[in-house]
Each structure stands twice: as structure tokens, then as C-alpha cells.
């Protein structure tokens, strides 16, 4: 069984104390806010970011709508797969939570009895952010920013070492990127079939816009020109 960062002279532990020390100096209300944000808030924000991106993609429609929505579907799937991959990693490393081996930490969340490496929260948020980046660079960069903030919060809360967070970022990124070609190859045809559906097509394109494969060259989705051409 491997136990990492036993010594307080370890830079990982030093950084842990530096970041977690901010919680000791902060007002009580701020610590409670960070507890909520780090435990639930940023995960919810990431989900809302994916929904926001989906809403924009379906309203824009176009030839890449199905592939963009496929990438958005892949984002949470990648996060779920990454967490599953983390299960044997945690069991192999068996690294205790930092407050088990180190005294004087300000622990904002109680009841954490599982192993520390790697951070599920960091893994989830980064996998979703990278999956989101495949669909939209703008939204993906915002998602990466949220993931970085999530990692900071986990150390601030005293429940993870910095290397737990870095490991989670690496795992989430690896799963989202390495499996992305296969996921897109499988999901994109499904999304195109959904786009052509009269009942579920709204999931890919806004109502009143035509599927990409029915557009006349030189027209834009959802325009009056397109509607006249289709009517003719």
C-alpha cells in the first residue's frame, strides 16, 4: 500500500497548509460559502454551462449541430467514465485524506472517510470541461476555469492534497481526449438520427429550423430565405 506525502517537508504538504491556511483567516460565512461551492456549487455550474452551450448550439443549428451536441453528450459521459476509472486507482494507491496524517488543518467538510488520490471532484469537472471544449472553445475555456477553481476549493477545504487535484485533472483530461474520437464516431450518427426525428429533433435544432441535410446550398438555418426555398 502506498501512502504519499508523509512528511510535512514535502512541497505537496507545504502547499496544502498554505492554501488551507487561508480558510483559518477567512470569515466563517466565507468558509461556509466555499464549502458549498467546492462540494456542490461548481458541479452544478458545470452542468448549467453544458446546458447553456447546448441551447446556443441548437438555436444556431447548421451542419455541425449534430456533432456539437454529440460532444456535449460526451462531456458528462466522459466524467462518469473517468470517475469509474478512478475507483481502482484509489484502491491501489490507498492514500488517506490529508487531515488523517496532518494536524492543524481547517477541515470544512466532515464525513470524508474514503481515500484521497485522486480527487473525484477534480476529475469530474475537468473531464466535463475538456468534453465541452470539443464542442465549443469559448464554453470549454470557461469550463476549464471552473475546474481549476474546483481544484483550489478541494485543497482549501482540507479534504485533498494538491497532487490529488492535479491527478484528477490529468485523469479527466486523458479520458475525455483519448476516448473522444470513438465517442464522437458513435454519438454523432445517433444525434443526426435524432435531428431528423419529428418528435425529438428539437434536441438538436430549435423548432422552426430545418435539419442540416435538407438545407439548400447558400441558405442559412432558420432564415426566411431557407423557409421560402423549402416551401418551393
Give yes or no for residue 206 having a pLDDT over 90.
Answer: no
Residue 40 domain-assigned? yes
What is the mean pLDDT of the segment spanning 173-186? 94
Q: What per-residue confidence (pLDDT) applies to 6?
A: 46
Kindly report, residue by residue over 13-39, the tens digit of the pLDDT.
Answer: 999 999 999 998 889 999 999 999 999
Q: What per-residue confidence (pLDDT) applies to 7?
A: 46
Residue 6 domain-assigned? no
Q: What is the secondary structure of 104-132 as a DSSP string?
A: S----S----S--SSPHHHHHHHHHHHHH
Q: In degrees rounded to 5, what are phi and psi of residue 10?
A: -65, 130
C-alpha span between 173 and 189 (Å, rounded): 24
- Cis-peptide, bond into residue 118, ω within 30° of zero: yes
Rounded to 5°, the CA angle 76-78-80 comes to 70
CATH code, domain with 200: 1.20.144
pTM above 0.85, yes or no: no
Q: Which region among 55-59, 149-153, 174-178, 186-190 has the lowest average model confidence (pLDDT)?
A: 55-59
Whole-angstrom CA distances from 90 to 10, 132, 156, 232 are: 21, 26, 21, 62
Residue 176 domain-assigned? yes
Q: Is the dihedral of CA 157, 162, 166, 167 positive or negative?
A: negative
Kindly report the average pLDDT of the chain as a whole number: 83
Q: What per-residue confidence (pLDDT) applies to 68?
A: 85
What is the mean pLDDT of the segment spanning 135-152? 94
Number of domains, the chain: 1
Domain that holds residue 73: 11-102+115-206
**Residue corresponding to grid cell 488523517:** 100
Q: What per-residue confidence (pLDDT) applies to 5?
A: 42
Q: Please choose, from the candidates 153, 132, 167, the residue with its C-alpha nearest in 3D space to the C-alpha of residue 47.
A: 132
For residue 212, what is its C-alpha cell?
Answer: 442540416
Residue 231 domain-assigned? no
Three-state DSSP class for 160? coil
Q: Of the segments 8-12, 165-169, 224-228, which one has the largest average pLDDT value?
A: 165-169
Q: Number of H helices and number of E strands within the chain?
A: 10, 0
**Residue corresponding to grid cell 487531515:** 99
Residue 211 — very low, low, confident or very high, per pLDDT cuts 50/70/90? low
Residue 185 domain-assigned? yes
Percent of the chain at pLDDT > 70 equals: 82
What is the mean pLDDT of the segment spanning 167-171? 96
C-alpha span between 98 and 109 (Å, rounded): 12
Kindly report, residue by residue over 89-117, the tens digit of the pLDDT.
Answer: 998 988 999 988 888 888 888 878 888 99
Q: What per-residue confidence (pLDDT) applies to 180?
A: 92
Residue 147 domain-assigned? yes
Q: Of the segments 135-144, 189-198, 211-220, which one has the largest average pLDDT value?
A: 135-144
DSSP state of 157: T
Whole-angstrom CA distances from 120 to 55, 70, 123, 129, 134 are: 27, 24, 5, 14, 21
Residue 180 domain-assigned? yes
Residue 62 domain-assigned? yes
Residue 85 — very low, low, confident or very high, per pLDDT cuts 50/70/90? very high
Amino acid at each position: 500500500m502506498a501512502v504519499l506525502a508523509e512528511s510535512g517537508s514535502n512541497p505537496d504538504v507545504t502547499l496544502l497548509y498554505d492554501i488551507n491556511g487561508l480558510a483559518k483567516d477567512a470569515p466563517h460565512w466565507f468558509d461556509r460559502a466555499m464549502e458549498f461551492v467546492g462540494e456542490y456549487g461548481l458541479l452544478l455550474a458545470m452542468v448549467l454551462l453544458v446546458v447553456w452551450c447546448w441551447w446556443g448550439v441548437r438555436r444556431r443549428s447548421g451542419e455541425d449541430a449534430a456533432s456539437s451536441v454529440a460532444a456535449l453528450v460526451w462531456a458528462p459521459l466522459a466524467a462518469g467514465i473517468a470517475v469509474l476509472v478512478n475507483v481502482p486507482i484509489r484502491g491501489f494507491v490507498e492514500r488517506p485524506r490529508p487531515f488523517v496524517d496532518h494536524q492543524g488543518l481547517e477541515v470544512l467538510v466532515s464525513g470524508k472517510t474514503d481515500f484521497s488520490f485522486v480527487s473525484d471532484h477534480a476529475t469530474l469537472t475537468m473531464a466535463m470541461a475538456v468534453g465541452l471544449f470539443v464542442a465549443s472553445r469559448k464554453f470549454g475555456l470557461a469550463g476549464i476555469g471552473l475546474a481549476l477553481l474546483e481544484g483550489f476549493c478541494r485543497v482549501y477545504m482540507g479534504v485533498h492534497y494538491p497532487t490529488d487535484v492535479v491527478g484528477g485533472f490529468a485523469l479527466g483530461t486523458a479520458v475525455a481526449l483519448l476516448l473522444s474520437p470513438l465517442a464522437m464516431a458513435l454519438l454523432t450518427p445517433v444525434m443526426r438520427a435524432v435531428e431528423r426525428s419529428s418528435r425529438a429533433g428539437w434536441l438538436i435544432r430549435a423548432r422552426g429550423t430545418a435539419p442540416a441535410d435538407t438545407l439548400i446550398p447558400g441558405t442559412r438555418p432558420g432564415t426566411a430565405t431557407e423557409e421560402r426555398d423549402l416551401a418551393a
